[in-house]
């Protein structure tokens, strides 16, 4: 799913101000004065997180983070660049959402390793439990589903990223429980859902077991 850049959508706020000015200053301070424009990506991220926390603008009461056009314009002003330079970056990277999303953005990996390990079953859970197909947001505004390519956690496939966190070693039943817990506002452990440590073999380490013990991994 790539939400459209709906520049004139009526949920777009007229103006945007960063609420955490110190965070903006800290980001700008990471770069030399002549390279201020390099701050564009962390500032876009900051804007997206601000909307998630203090927003929302748009149709979902408790929606997730996205970047209104006014925020991009504000960033252009801060980094002293033409607005188009910010639009170019924001529209290129899929991690920036340009239209409202649900409170929980599910990025379900369906690339070959995850698919071989059962991602189709997880997709079905999303469709049945959340009532969404890829690219859609549930009626209650809680879940947005995206089908994505490999997220680099294939060894613990199948997996999904929900907001900032990875949920791995999923089965349809486990995934349903994770979604239910999120819906109920409960804490859900992140990472492997079967208790596997890191990316070691399911039955424990196959080499360097002594070292793993020494480091307290097992
Ligand atoms: S294929 Fe799913 S994380 Fe790599």
Residue 1 neighbours by CB distance under 10 Å: 18
Check if CATH label 3.40.30.10 holds for domain 104-192. Answer: yes
Distance 157 CA to ligand 1 centre (A): 6
Token output for 165 = 């966190």
Question: Given ligand 1 and candidates 118, 119, 148, 154, which is best to mutate, with the most ligand atoms within 8 Å of its CB?
Answer: 154
Task: Assign 47 to helix, strand or coil.
Answer: helix
In SS3 terms, 159-216 reads as CEEECCEEEECCCHHHHHHHHHHHHCCCCCCCEECCCCCCCCCCCCCCCCHHHHHHCC
Distance 38 CA to ligand 1 centre (A): 30
Distance CA 18, CA 21 (A): 6
- Ligand 1 neighbourhood includes 154 CB (under 6 angstroms): yes
Distance 50 CA to ligand 1 centre (A): 29
Helix 83-92, helix 69-79: angle, nearest 10: 120
Question: Would the pLDDT of 34 be above 60?
Answer: yes
- Ligand 1 neighbourhood includes 159 CB (under 6 angstroms): yes
Q: What is the pLDDT of residues 44-94, one digit of tens each?
A: 999 999 999 887 788 888 889 999 999 999 999 999 999 999 999 999 999
pTM of the predicted model as reported, rounded to 2 decimal places: 0.89
Largest CA distance in the chain: 61
Distance CA 175, CA 181 (A): 10
Residue 118 neighbours by CB distance under 10 Å: 16
- Ligand 1 neighbourhood includes 38 CB (under 6 angstroms): no
Write down the pLDDT at residue 173. 97
Between the alpha carbon of residue 159 and those of residues 57, 108, 170, the distances in Å are 30, 7, 6
Distance 162 CA to ligand 1 centre (A): 14
Q: In the 8-state DSSP scheme, what is residue 129? A: I
- Ligand 1 neighbourhood includes 98 CB (under 6 angstroms): no
> Domain map of the chain by residue range?
21-92, 104-192
Q: What is the pLDDT of residues 105-155, one digit of tens each?
A: 999 999 999 999 999 999 999 999 999 999 999 999 999 999 999 999 999
């Amino acid at each position: 799913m790539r939400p459209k850049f709906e520049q004139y959508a009526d949920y777009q706020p007229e103006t945007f101000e960063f609420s955490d000015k110190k965070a903006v200053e800290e980001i700008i301070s990471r770069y030399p004065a002549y390279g201020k424009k390099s701050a564009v990506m962390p500032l876009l991220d900051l804007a997206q997180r601000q909307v998630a926390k203090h927003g929302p603008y748009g149709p979902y009461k408790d929606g997730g983070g996205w970047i209104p056009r006014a925020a991009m314009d504000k960033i252009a002003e801060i980094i002293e660049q033409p607005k188009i330079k910010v639009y170019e970056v924001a529209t290129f990277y899929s991690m920036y959402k340009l239209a409202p999303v649900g409170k929980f953005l599910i990025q379900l990996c369906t690339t070959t390793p995850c698919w071989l390990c059962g991602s189709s079953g997880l997709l079905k859970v999303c469709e049945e439990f959340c009532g969404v197909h890829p690219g859609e947001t549930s009626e209650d505004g809680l879940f947005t589903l995206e089908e994505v390519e490999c997220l680099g956690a294939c060894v613990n496939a199948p997996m999904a990223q929900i907001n900032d966190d990875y949920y791995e070693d999923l089965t349809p039943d486990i995934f349903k429980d994770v979604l239910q817990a999120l819906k109920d506002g409960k804490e859900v452990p992140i990472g492997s859902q079967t208790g596997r440590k890191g990316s070691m073999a399911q039955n424990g380490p196959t080499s360097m077991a002594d070292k793993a013990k020494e480091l307290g991994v097992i």
